Every structure is written in structure tokens, then in C-alpha cells.
Amino acid sequence: MDHNEHHHHGHHEHHEHETMDHGKMDHTKMDHSKMQHDHGNIPMGMAGHDHHKMMIEDFKKRFWVSLILTIPILVLSSMIQDFFGYSLNVPYNSYILLVLSSVVYFWGGWPFLKGFTTEIKQKGPGMMTLIAMAISVAYFYSAATVFGLKGMDFFWELATLIVIMLLGHWLEMKSVLGASKALQLLVSMMPAEAHRVTKDGQIEDVKLEVLQKGDIIMIKPGEKVPADGIIEEGSSYLNESMLTGESKPVKKEKDNKVIGGSINGNGSLKIKVEHTGKDSYLNKVIKLVEDAQKAKSKMQNFSDRAAKWLTYIALSVGFTTLAVWLIAGQPFVFALERMVTVMVIACPHALGLAIPLVVAISTAVSAQNGLLIRNRTAFEESRKITALLFDKTGTLTSGVFGVTRFESNDTSISKEELLRLASALEQTSEHPIAVGIMNKVKELKIEIPKAEKFNAITGKGVEATVDGKQVKVVSPGYLKDKNLVVPEGAFSSKAETVVFILVDEKVAGYIALADAIRPESADAIKVFKKNGIKVLMATGDNKTVAKAVSEELGLDGYFAEVLPHQKVEIVKELQSKGEFVAMTGDGVNDAPALAQSDVGIAVGSGTDVAAETADIILVNSNPKDIANLILFGKATYKKMVQNLVWATAYNSFAIPLAAGVLYSAGFVLGPAVGAVFMSLSTIIVAINAQLLKKSIGTA
């Protein structure tokens, strides 16, 4: 049964999420006749979600009414009377039973009968076909006994069977709902209104869908950001954790981008709207999650085929059971009861749910942790990764050239004073070294002095007079030319670039800068190593820097001075050696390599979700997220296998019992007990899928 087909009837026709204001959605217009009432369909989005809630209510109502009607059926049934040793001679007893059972069958069993017709129309007999056939055979046979056919009725078994089936479906749907809640959380992150600033500076509250690109909106402290935009004035820390998985609030000031759905800290901001509604980051994420949840993976196709086969097996085993017992000379009632039980127990319910539930939960949970899955199969196969190729800049390293160490070797000048003097010379320069030094000065809140008589020493550095001292910031080459002694420990790491500070022609100290390795990189690499994954790096940097980073992190190898188009070759070469390659890149210049790799992971594109060639997009460029991804991929796959094993093992164990293989030993499984087991197995699968939520973020 193709669970995803139904998905489309259900809701994409009605709401393309243009307006994010779900409060106003008109559910009366939804065409319920087209909605599939089976549970392989896990409705997502709001429309599907509400519909799902209605179905749960519907099953609940049918369950309670059927349960109340079943009590008199039990009381009036002769078999129950014999069992408890009492007798009730009610006039027209069998007709009362027939009427009550008819209500239970037609009204209580309606969802199953309706599902049966749909399945037959779609030429995909499944669970509903089995349940419907089982209850129909039981009902019509029992009804015939009332009108003179020889044999025993089993109205009480029919009624209890339907009641248990309804209960099972109701409970199972409640646990399925948890899967779409995660996505609903993403949807509900948008506020309903925004404070728009008018031309004359007044503030008016407007509905979200009225916002236009270019509008200026005000965001008060603690409020949710209603749309993607750029800060015009104000600064604040924003919490983007629900969108990117980044736990610590991010400082944003004028000209920084903000994402709709993030939560403002204690500063108030005015932002200029860039994207609203459909084009917003959050909506792209929601769309991606929905697409991924609808997309089928290999596992899903496998379980669909298994469920279909199980249906055919169940039908044939059911009829064979009936025939065998009749040939063996058993009464028709007994043979029929065996057949009904086989059909009920064999419902591939648990199997039909085993994968879709895990898919829905893993996709939504991943999105909240900053992992966006575009290709389900690649995600499930992330457990096979044997080699991980990193694009260095901005993934393993922070991508920012910063001061790593600064030392003074003149006792009269402190190292902070040294940095202060250097900053006077570097404050106007755009050079990465200068920018790195200035960032450090700002971070340490050092006051920058004035520089006089500024002069550039061609190709070697700069000089000026600061506080009456003659100060120079120069490259190692300058020291060599002047035969000056290099201070001890200046060149301790090959990955660093070192500049020297001269005060009145004497070497006073040095400042070392490097593209700092991210603190999370080492942890992430430990996780990869533990999982037997080779970690390699392909970078455009020179050999010295590449080697230094590689050694510091203990990588398995590196490729230096690589041009973007050469990355594809590296991936191909690794694959030819039999490696299952995951490539991480920034999604733009690495597109060909990402497409070539077995699992392409686009990294750190932040708000730009549309990394077309990647299978998985990481919202943060944190290597730890990749470790999480691989572990979560493994956990997801494990859950799928567990669910499949449970669903099939349970069936292969229970079907023979239902068919009556242990009849000679005096053990026979009745239809009602069979129904209990079937519902239980389904609920176990649903709960097991929910446990997946606990396994992310433990890396």
C-alpha cells in the first residue's frame, strides 16, 4: 500500500501554507471524502493535523458507543451465560442480539468497511481488507443462524472484536499524533501579528500576511521575530535554537540578518522585512521536512512490500485454515472462528506503521536540531559512511583569522601594552592580520592610541610614532633582513602567521594569528573515530597550514591547495577504493562534489536552505552536528529494524496459534484475544518510534 499517495489527496489541495495564520483556516471546506482513513498516512501540516484529531475523536466515540452496546450482547449470549452459570430467558433473545450486533457491525465497524472499499478500489488489499472480511464473515454467518441456519452464533465475539479494534486504532492514532506534533511545533513558531512602523513613525499591529518586503517592523524584547529581515536599528541577543539547534543566543546588531521564528532577547529591534510567508526560512524548512516525510526510502519500500505480502499470506492462510478444519470434520463455527482469528491477527498494522512513524519523527526532530534531511535514503545510509571528507574553512576551523597568542619579551612592556601599541598602527587597515588584531583588542576592551607619522614599509609591514615611541609591526622577513634575533617560541605552530613588534628598533614581542580550530572539532572527530570513520580534509589552503590542522586534530589525511573542481576527483578516487563517502561542503562551490558523494552534507549556509545538491543540510557549520547526524542516522535505522523485526516476528508467531496448531494440546486463540494482541503489537511499534526523540543530541 503506498502510504504516501494518500497524503496528497488529503491536504496539499487545500492549503499550500501561503498564509501562516492557521487560526483562520477553514476546515469546513476540506474534502474529507478524499482523505484516506488509514494510518500509513501520517498527515502533516496543519490541515492534516486537525483532520487527524477529528479521526481520533471519531474512533473514540465509536469505541465508547460500541462498548456500551457490547455489554447487553455479552449478557444475552448463551455461551457467556453457560460460562458464568446463569440463565436469562429474554423473549426474542436472538433478535435483540442481532439488532444490537448490527449496530456494532455497521456503525462501529464502519471505518474498517470504508477502508476496505478504498483498498479494493486501489487494488492494494491490506489491513482494512483483513479486518473487514473477518468481521463481515462473522456477522453474516451469525445473522444466518438467527434465521434458521444450523450452528452457533458468535455475536459476542464479533462485538468484542470490533470494540478492541476500535480501541487499538484509537490508541495507536494518539501515539501517531506525536509524530506530527514535532512539525506542528515548527509551524507554530511564527507569531500571528507584527508591529509595523508607519511612515510618520507610528506603530500599528498588523496581521502577518499583510507584511510586504521592505516594511519596517518593530520587535519588542522577548517577542518572536515575525519575518526574515535585516536589522535597521538596535541590537540584541537572539535565540535561534529552535531553528538552527545553536543553543547559545546570538548577538545581532545593525545590518545583521534575523530569521523569522527566532526569539528576541532583551533589546528592542527595528528590522526591514526581507522575506515573508512562502519565501521565509522557516517555511522552507517546513516544506523540506514535509517533502522528506513524504519521500520514500528503501526501508519504506521494503516494508510496504512486506505488508502487501503479509495481506496475501493472511488471506490464503485464512481460507486454508477454514478448509483444513472442515475437512478434519470440525463444526463450521469452529473452522470459521479459526479463520476470523487468523485474519485479525495477521493484519499488517504494525508493519504498515513500523517505518512511516520513525520517518516522521526522525525528520521533525532532526529539523529542530539544525539537521534538514532532503534525501531519506541518504540519511538512513549515513550509518554506512566509512570516509568523511571535510572542506576545512569554516567547518573544522572557525573560518576567522584571529589572534591565537601574543607575547612580550621586553620586561618593561606588558603583553597587553604591546597589543595596544600594535593596534594604533592597524586600526585603519583592511588586511586580515590587521582585522584579526583589532578584533582581539576590542575583545579585551583595550583603548586604541593615536598614531603619527604613519608609513608603510614596502612588503614588510608598517611603522608610526605612538605615545612618542617609534613602533613597527613587521613580518619575519624584516627581522631576517635586519639580522634581528627572533624571540624564542615565536614559531611554535606551523599553522600560525606571526608578526613582530619593534619598539625603538628593538624586538619587543610578537603576535601570532591563525584560523582557529573550532573547539567542537576535536570532540566530533573522536566520535567519527569511535564509529570507524576515516576523517579527511580537502582545503584550498597551503600544505603547511593543512598539515598543521591535520596533525592537531589527528586526521587520517589531507589534500591541500585543492581547487573546487578537484574535490569531485577526490570523492571519486575514495569511492573507487570502496569507501562510502560523505562530503561536507558549503553547498555552492562544492555542488559537484556533494552530488558525487554517497551522502552530501551542505554546511553552514545558515538561512540559505536551498542547497540543491546536498542530501542533508546542516544549519550550523558545527562538525559536532555531523557526528550527531551519523549517530542519529544509526539510531533511526536501528528503530526501523527493531520495528520491522517486532512486527514480522509477532505475526509469524501468532498466525499458527490462531490457525489452531496447538489445538491438540488444548490451546486455541480466540478472535477477541487475537485482536488484543494485534492492537498491542501496533501500540508497541508506535511507542518504540517515539523513543527515538530521546536519542538525538547525545553525541
For 244-265, b/e burial (b = at least 16 CB within 10 A) is bbbeebbebeeebebbbbbbbb
Task: Please pick, among 215, 228, 304, 391, the residue that the annotation labels catalytic.
Answer: 391
* CB contact set of 610 (below 8 Å; sequence gap of 6+): 284
* CB contact set of 498 (below 8 Å; sequence gap of 6+): 476, 490, 491, 510, 511, 512, 513
Is residue 303 within 8 A of residue 280, CB to CB? The reply is no
C-alpha–C-alpha distance, residues 507 and 472, integer Å:
9
Q: Which run of H or E residues covers position 116?
A: helix 110-121
SS3 of residue 175 by DSSP: helix
Residue 351 sits at the vertex; the CA angle it makes with 172 and 293, to the nearest 5 degrees, is: 75
- Positive or negative CA dihedral for 340, 346, 349, 352? negative
C-alpha–C-alpha distance, residues 458 and 452, integer Å:
18
Is residue 556 within 8 A of residue 536, CB to CB? The reply is yes
Assign residue 45 a region: left if phi > 0, alpha if psi is -120 to 50, beta otherwise? Answer: left
Is residue 628 within 8 A of residue 699, CB to CB? The reply is yes
C-alpha–C-alpha distance, residues 461 and 459, integer Å:
6
**Catalytic annotation present for 391:** yes
Is residue 516 within 8 A of residue 397, CB to CB? The reply is yes
Residue 383: how many other CB atoms lie within 10 Å = 17
Phi, psi of 565 (to 5 degrees): -70, -15
C-alpha–C-alpha distance, residues 4 and 360, integer Å:
12
Is residue 675 within 8 A of residue 164, CB to CB? The reply is yes
Query: Can you state the percent helix, strand and coil of the chain, rounding each to 5?
Result: 55, 15, 30
Question: Which H, E and C letters describe 28-94, residue by residue?
Answer: HHCCHHHCCCCCCCCCCHHHHHHHHHHHHHHHHHHHHHHHHHHHHHHHHCHHHHHHHCCCCCCCCHH
C-alpha–C-alpha distance, residues 103 and 588, integer Å:
63
Positions annotated as catalytic residues are 391
